């Protein structure tokens, strides 16, 4: 009992979980510029004649992992 009210264990657990989640800081990061990417500056395949779509560098910041 706290101030005449019954303490609900599930609410205490939810509050503690919320506080611990708020304490954790996010550490997600992405590659921000081309200097942080690995790989070559060359085109992955030539512009014409392969039957595939045109493609420039594969190391660009728009792709996942920059590859």
pLDDT single digits (tens) 15-67: 999 999 989 888 887 777 777 777 777 887 888 898 888 887 766 656 565 45
Say what the pLDDT of residue 60 is.
64
To the question of pTM greater than 0.75 for the whole model, the response is: no
pLDDT value at 7 more than 70:
yes
Say what the pLDDT of residue 16 is.
96
Burial readout 21-46 (b: 16 or more C-beta within 10 A, e: otherwise): eeeeeeeeeebeeeeebeeeeeeeee
Between CA 50 and CA 48 the distance in angstroms is 6
Q: Which two tokens stand for residue 10?
A: 């599930």
Say what the pLDDT of residue 17 is.
95
């Amino acid at each position: 009992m706290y101030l005449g009210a019954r303490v609900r264990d599930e609410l205490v657990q939810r509050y503690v979980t919320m506080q611990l989640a708020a304490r954790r800081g996010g550490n997600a990061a992405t590659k921000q510029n081309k200097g942080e990417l690995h790989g070559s500056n060359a085109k992955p395949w030539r512009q014409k004649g392969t039957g595939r779509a045109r493609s420039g560098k594969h190391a660009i910041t728009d792709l996942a992992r920059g590859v």
